[in-house]
Structure 1
Amino acid sequence: MPGTVLLLAASPVGKGRLVDAASVLPVLAAVAPAVLSGTDTANVVELADPLEPQAVLTRLRAAAAAPGPLTVYVTGQLQLDRRQRLPHLALARTTAATARYTAFPWHWFREELRLRPAGATTLLLDLHADAETWELLRSTPLDSGRGNAVHGRIAPPPSRRTIAQPAYMKAVATILRSGSRPPAEQLHQQALTRIAPESAGTDLVLSTPGPAVGDPHAAITAAVQSGRHTEADALAARHEQIAVTTHGPASEEALHWAEVRADLAMFAGDAVRSCRTWLMIATARLNAGQAPDAPAVEAAVDRAHHQWGQVRDTAPARELGAALAALRGRVPGRREGALDHVQRQLRQLQTPAGTGTRLSDGAAFTRPM
Structure 2
Amino acid sequence: MVITREDTRAGTALLLAAAPAGKGCLIDAASVLPALAAVPPSTLTGTAAATVIELADPLDPQTVLTRIRAAAATAGPLSLYITGQLHLDHKQRLVHLALARTAPATLRYTGLPWHWLAAELKLRRPGTTTVVVDLVADAEAWQRLGTEGIGLGYGTRLYGRVAPPPPRRTVAAPAYLAACAAIWRSGARPPLTQLHEQAAARAGVQDALLLAFDAPPVHHLPLDNGAEPVRHDRPSVPPPGPPAGAETEGPGADPHPAILAAARAGRHTEAASIAALWESTALRAHGPGSMEAIHWLEVRADLARLAQDAGRSCALWMAAAEARLASRQAPDHEDVEAAVDRAHHQWEQLHDPALARSLAPALTALRRRVPGRRRGAIEAIQRQIENVHSTSARPE
Q: Normalised by the size of structure 1, how large is the TM-score? A: 0.67
What pairs with 1:104-115 in structure 2 (closer than 5 Å)?
104-115=112-123
CA distance in 2, matches of 1:12, 1:166: 15
Per the TM alignment, residue 160 of structure 1 is displaced from its structure 2 partner at its CA by: 0.6
Question: Would the aligned equivalents of 2:158 and 2:212 in 1 still touch at CA under 8 Å?
Answer: yes
Aligned equivalent of 2:108, options 100, 112, 126: 100
Runs of 4+ in 1 over 4 A off after TM superposition: 227-230, 283-287, 302-310, 327-338
Aligned equivalent of 1:300, options 274, 288, 291: 274
Matched positions, count: 284
Per the TM alignment, residue 306 of structure 1 is displaced from its structure 2 partner at its CA by: 8.6
Per the TM alignment, residue 57 of structure 1 is displaced from its structure 2 partner at its CA by: 0.9
Per the TM alignment, residue 308 of structure 1 is displaced from its structure 2 partner at its CA by: 9.8
CA distance in 2, matches of 1:77, 1:265: 27
CA distance in 2, matches of 1:133, 1:265: 25
Gaps of 5+ in 1: 231-260, 267-271, 311-320, 342-360
Per the TM alignment, residue 275 of structure 1 is displaced from its structure 2 partner at its CA by: 5.1
Deviations 1:267-297 (A, max 9, x none): xxxxx94351x3364367458x5522x1x31
Aligned equivalent of 2:212, options 192, 207, 211: 207
Q: Which residue of 2 aligns with 1:238?
A: none
CA distance in 2, matches of 1:178, 1:306: 39
Per the TM alignment, residue 33 of structure 1 is displaced from its structure 2 partner at its CA by: 0.2
Please state if 1:124 is matched with 2:102: no
Q: Which residue of 2 aligns with 1:282?
A: 259
Q: Which residue of 1 aligns with 2:17?
A: 9
Question: Would the aligned equivalents of 1:10 and 1:75 in 2 still touch at CA under 8 Å?
Answer: yes
Q: Which residue of 1 aligns with 2:63?
A: 55
3-state DSSP class of the match of 2:273? helix
Q: Which residue of 1 aligns with 2:147?
A: 139
Gaps of 5+ in 2: 1-8, 228-240, 286-295, 321-334, 340-396
Q: Which residue of 1 aligns with 2:222?
A: 224
Deviations 1:98-134 (A, max 9, x none): 1111111111110111111110000000000111111
CA distance in 2, matches of 1:152, 1:162: 21
What pairs with 1:244-263 in structure 2 (closer than 5 Å)?
262-263=242-243
Label 1:228 to 1:307 Cα distance change in 2 as closer, same or farther (>3 A).
closer
3-state DSSP class of the match of 2:190? coil
Aligned partner letter, 2:90: R
Label 1:137 to 1:306 Cα distance change in 2 as closer, same or farther (>3 A).
closer
Per the TM alignment, residue 67 of structure 1 is displaced from its structure 2 partner at its CA by: 1.4
Aligned partner letter, 1:274: G
Aligned partner letter, 2:256: L
Q: Normalised by the size of structure 2, how large is the TM-score? A: 0.63
Aligned partner letter, 1:31: V
Question: Would the aligned equivalents of 2:179 and 2:203 in 1 still touch at CA under 8 Å?
Answer: yes
CA distance in 1, matches of 2:47, 2:145: 33
CA distance in 2, matches of 1:305, 1:63: 16
Please state if 1:195 is matched with 2:203: yes
Q: Which residue of 1 aligns with 2:26?
A: 18
Question: Would the aligned equivalents of 2:12 and 2:79 in 1 still touch at CA under 8 Å?
Answer: yes
CA distance in 2, matches of 1:157, 1:134: 8
CA distance in 2, matches of 1:141, 1:22: 25
Per the TM alignment, residue 335 of structure 1 is displaced from its structure 2 partner at its CA by: 4.6
Deviations 1:215-265 (A, max 9, x none): xxx342xx338x9989xxxxxxxxxxxxxxxxxxxxxxxxxxxxxx82269
CA distance in 2, matches of 1:96, 1:147: 32
Q: Which residue of 2 aligns with 1:237?
A: none
Please state if 1:183 is matched with 2:191: yes
Identity over aligned pairs, percent: 45
3-state DSSP class of the match of 2:22? coil
Question: Would the aligned equivalents of 1:274 and 1:304 in 2 still touch at CA under 8 Å?
Answer: no
Per the TM alignment, residue 92 of structure 1 is displaced from its structure 2 partner at its CA by: 0.8
Label 1:302 to 1:30 Cα distance change in 2 as closer, same or farther (>3 A).
closer
Q: Which residue of 2 aligns with 1:291?
A: 267
RMSD: 3.8
